[in-house]
Structure 1
Amino acid sequence: MSITSRNSSLLSAAAVPVALTVALLAGCSSDSDTTSAPGPVVSDASPGLDAGVPIPDGQIDDAVGKLDGLANDLMARSGVPGMAVAVVHGGKTVYAKGFGVRELGKSATVDADTVFQLASVSKSVGATVVAHEVGIGTVDWDTPVISKLPGFTLADPWVTDHLTISDLYTHRSGLPDHAGDGLEDLGYNRGQVLEKLRQLPLNPFRITYEYTNFGVTAGAEAVAAAAGTDWETLSQNTIYGPLGMTSTSSRFADYQARENRTVGHILEDGKYEVGPVRDADAQSPAGGVSSSANDMAKWLDMVLSGGQYQGQQIVRTDALVPAINPEIVSRHAQEIGERSGFYGYGFNVSDSAAGRVTASHSGAFLVGAGTNFVTIPSADVGIVVLTNGTPTGVAETLTAEFADLVQFGKITREWRPLYEASFASQADPEGELAGKTPPASPTPAPPTNQLTGDYGNPYWGPALVTQQNGALTLTMGPAAVTYPLTHWDGNTFTFPLSGENAPAGTVSKATFDGNSLTLEYFDHDHLGTFIRATPAE
């Protein structure tokens, strides 16, 4: 796909191909035999609690009993180094187990207490932090963000005045897809990224769904400001501490300090190898939580129990319920009769083929984390799967298989190829020239002294082009990220990118035109042109 139109749902603390997850979990049909039960489940309280397919006694236990085999099969087929799985049912953790190793080349194995980076599952965890504050009256879901973060503005003053915490947690603020993620890659911190979001063009407010890590982060920052503390401390005090989640944190330093933790692995040429370390502190509310299967089981139990845990009300039910309600269409049906997908406040919300509401979320770091949880509240069951490799749909496959077994008593389709294909397509290299061969007889480049110098851009900041021994180098951002420029043709150069938001093989054009320099990779919101201030000597 072209860089200017990318929709990299996989390639950030983000998230994952939400469209496929929703379509497959919510839109599948089943030909399963349901003759073992007398008929649909009917609620005296509300027709909305009715389910089309009953769950016979023992069926959930049978599903749990198949997890060892399913997990081991997925490990063997995918090659992912490590995995941890936990299931909660009836207010108890009924399954918690680790598979594989924490790090390739080392003997330490994964267990249910091994800490993984959650990536975008952090959004759902963070939504329960917000719900806690809603429950005690610190904020409301519809509190205007500007009332708690007076310095936070967007391009449209009217949107700024009316933007609420819920708008940011539902990705309906109008900010473009993955707004700010590229700034994080260059080393900008949380405050710097949030300040620069005001420069981005906006899509229609409250009717456009665009997945934004830093949009959620802004909403979380507003809640923390209202509570008079920082987000990381608020999360610990309201959720992690009360639930006894002793291996969970929203700080990267805590993850690094854990002895029993995984490292990320990146998939290249069909093989996993240890990847670069992913520090997601800048977008911690959206992608920076680390946790274990056992800890996440406690959190799932609390969510399934309407905010209660071991007899204690951690989050008020009436504050939590809105988060797990459809608020915006995240995936529109593609044909008549197909179910659409929805997003609540940090949760994907769907209707399964069995007629049961499911709440879920995936998390993905291209450099080494693939996570997913699925809850079926009407069955009082939830599953979480954590892996330490480039996401290829392993976590989603296992949760989908388990959800099938819970609801239908059998796996209704081959989930693995569907998820694998979706993740593979979203990991395609970006750039017009990616995979192409340079011209055999290129037009010569302009003289080096016409290209070097200090360039500036209001959104991306400074870009320095230097030369040494005739070779050009581009340096950008607070982290001084350096890209070697290779001549392609005339005034066009190229540079490779790799990392959290750039799949392997990504190539960007760098086009010089007088005193301007346009960087293709950074131009997806038409903000990629830099102006030279002072030519280098």
Structure 2
Amino acid sequence: MPFPPLFHPISAAALLLIAPAVAFAEAPEGDLPPPQTTAVAVPAGQIEAAIEQLDERAETLMERSGLPGMAVAVVHEGETVYASGFGLRKMGEEAKVDADTVFQLASLSKSISATVVAQQVAEGVVSWDTPVTEFLPDFKLADAWVTEHVTIGDLFSHRSGLPDHAGDNLEDLGYTREEVLSHLHLLPLSPFRDTYAYTNFGLTAAAEAVAAAAGRDWESLSEDALFAPLGMSSSSFRFAHYAARENRAHGHVRVGDDFEALYVRQPDAQSPAGGVSASVNDMARWMALLLQDGRFEDQQILPPGALLEPMTAKMISSPSYAPDARPSFYGYGIGVGIEASGRVSLSHSGAFALGAGTNYTLLPSLDLGIVILTNAAPTGVGEALAMEFSELVQYGGISRDWYAAYQPLMEPILAPIGELVGKEPPSEAVEPAPLAHYAGVYDNPYFGTAEISNGAEGLRLTIGPAHLNYRLSHWDGDSFTYRPFGENAPAGSISKVTFERDGEKAAALTIEFLNEQGLGRFERQD
């Protein structure tokens, strides 16, 4: 999806939110080295008091937001100390959410994928510095040197130079995972290892390389390397498993003042980056694994230290916008932030425009983590509840209305796209050429074929392996519009289609919705 990652509640909104004021404790914690020392002590009983408030905080946010359903779990010192569900799995039905309800996790999948890779690194199958082409010899980027040197770690930390959300629009058109990856070399690159840009399919390529090294498909590898050993019995990278679960949360989108379950997000193409489904009970096991250095209950699932690489900063994801603003970072599939207290936090958010909003936040110095899964397009509830809990734990109170801070940040993310949104056609629009002159088959090396047909309803655009079909409405002269809709085009989006005519017939067309990287021009083939 096109949403910027919300790794840590503070860092995601760094340009807009002001961190709460913090009173220093009388003394730093123990005799820890300076980099591990925090300025705010947590008194005995304060964590338990914060957990006791979770029901009330969650119910309040559910009421304010109108969310259909939500599940929350907390782990502390290796144990699940809280797990509960709120609301409904699907609006209009009676089934309630509980701690075993399976949700789509969206981009929380990246952190879980990083754990799978860490297991394979520990086994000696790959390293984070393994070049992707060592196991995916056909993988290419626009630059031959970068192609040769880009590593699994580069792609898991979003520093390959690929543009933001590279390949997502191909997925929307119906391209498979393999097809999307084979097209990435056509995209322009930013400086290698010097720029951060969030890419679902870049990370997916790295995961595919790990799976190839292991001689398995990614989905099976994840089951054997992580889910089975950890007892995550409701978790899967396969959409079919989610769809077959009776106790699953359905995705919802906002329609007016309500939420409705209208669409289904099928993320198999980018499964390592966004395709996991799981319950909060399962996610609690995974959080405990991270916080306990690879141990769960009485079993050492991963060798000690195996998770250090993904859990530590590799790239600056949000540079400081002011001298007193904290930056945020990204490890391998995991966001790394610094709390106002001085504590390091590990986190990630996930979102599907078609119906998922998720967040987890870990405080390693307290051996504490919370996960929030919701079944609606992102509202900011997950981030707000994580922030409220984090403040209650560390400071004993909540410094501000975090939902009021986060909810407006989600509105632009879900806003319709297109330069003509909200505009009316020109009052003195130039008439188009005869519609038959626009009809034909047009080709694009990145997006493939676009067909313009002329029928009783006028012009129609058919595009992509999914054969998406749209009616074109005349705008002005050789310009038309259509209304795309999907994971990367929120409801109300408008895309211009501009034809170039050579004599009578159109020789090319440019689709605004597909032209963000300047690749949206299609040339006539017939």
Q: TM-score, normalised on structure 1? A: 0.95
2:419 to 432, 438, 462: 432
Counterpart in 1 of 2:97?
110
Which deviates more, 497-506 or 454-463? Answer: 497-506
Report 1:80-479 matches (<5 A): 80-479=67-466
What amino acid sits opposite 1:437 in the alignment?
E
Deviation sequence 1:304-325 (CA, Å, 0-9, x none): 0011111222122322101111
**Structure 2: how far apart are the matches of 1:282 and 1:215?**
12
The alpha carbon displacement at 1:467 in A equals 1.3
2:519 to 501, 505, 527: 527
Whether contact under 8 Å (2:7, 2:347) holds in the other structure is no
Deviation sequence 1:224-278 (CA, Å, 0-9, x none): 0001101000110011101111100000000000010011001133321113110
**Structure 2: how far apart are the matches of 1:146 and 1:42?**
47
- Does residue 41 (structure 1) correspond to residue 9 (structure 2)? The answer is no
What amino acid sits opposite 2:92 in the alignment?
G
What amino acid sits opposite 2:339 in the alignment?
S
The alpha carbon displacement at 1:420 in A equals 0.7
Whether contact under 8 Å (2:22, 2:341) holds in the other structure is no
Secondary structure of the 2:305 match is: helix
The alpha carbon displacement at 1:19 in A equals 8.1
What amino acid sits opposite 2:522 in the alignment?
F
What amino acid sits opposite 1:54 in the alignment?
A
Whether contact under 8 Å (2:141, 2:185) holds in the other structure is yes
2:20 to 25, 30, 46: 30
Provide the aligned C-alpha RMSD in A. 1.5
**Structure 1: how far apart are the matches of 2:437 and 2:271?**
42
**Structure 2: how far apart are the matches of 1:60 and 1:168?**
36
**Structure 1: how far apart are the matches of 2:323 and 2:293?**
34
The alpha carbon displacement at 1:17 in A equals 4.4
Whether contact under 8 Å (1:15, 1:363) holds in the other structure is no
**Structure 2: how far apart are the matches of 1:136 and 1:101?**
42
The alpha carbon displacement at 1:75 in A equals 0.3
What amino acid sits opposite 1:300 in the alignment?
M
Whether contact under 8 Å (1:19, 1:331) holds in the other structure is no
The alpha carbon displacement at 1:18 in A equals 4.9
Secondary structure of the 2:323 match is: coil
Whether contact under 8 Å (2:432, 2:477) holds in the other structure is yes
Whether contact under 8 Å (2:450, 2:461) holds in the other structure is yes
What amino acid sits opposite 1:31 in the alignment?
A
**Structure 1: how far apart are the matches of 2:430 and 2:511?**
20
Secondary structure of the 2:155 match is: helix
Secondary structure of the 1:318 match is: coil
The alpha carbon displacement at 1:295 in A equals 0.4
Provide runs of 4+ in structure 1 moved above 4 Å.
Answer: 17-21, 23-28
1:484 to 466, 471, 495: 471
What amino acid sits opposite 1:417 in the alignment?
A
Whether contact under 8 Å (2:7, 2:336) holds in the other structure is no
Q: Name the count of aligned residue pairs.
A: 520
Which deviates more, 409-418 or 300-309? Answer: 409-418
What amino acid sits opposite 1:40 in the alignment?
P
Cα 1:20/1:291, change in 2 over 3 Å = closer
The alpha carbon displacement at 1:338 in A equals 1.2
**Structure 1: how far apart are the matches of 2:444 and 2:31?**
59
Cα 1:470/1:295, change in 2 over 3 Å = closer
Whether contact under 8 Å (1:28, 1:353) holds in the other structure is no
Deviation sequence 1:77-97 (CA, Å, 0-9, x none): 000100000000011100000
Query: Which ranges of structure 1 fall in alignment gaps of 5 or more residues?
Result: 1-10
Whether contact under 8 Å (2:8, 2:345) holds in the other structure is no
**Structure 2: how far apart are the matches of 1:32 and 1:197?**
46
Whether contact under 8 Å (1:86, 1:293) holds in the other structure is yes
What amino acid sits opposite 1:324 in the alignment?
M
Query: Which ranges of structure 2 fall in alignment gaps of 5 or more residues?
Result: 502-506
Deviation sequence 1:190-209 (CA, Å, 0-9, x none): 00000000100001110111
Secondary structure of the 1:349 match is: strand
**Structure 1: how far apart are the matches of 2:27 and 2:201?**
46
The alpha carbon displacement at 1:42 in A equals 3.5
Whether contact under 8 Å (1:15, 1:362) holds in the other structure is no
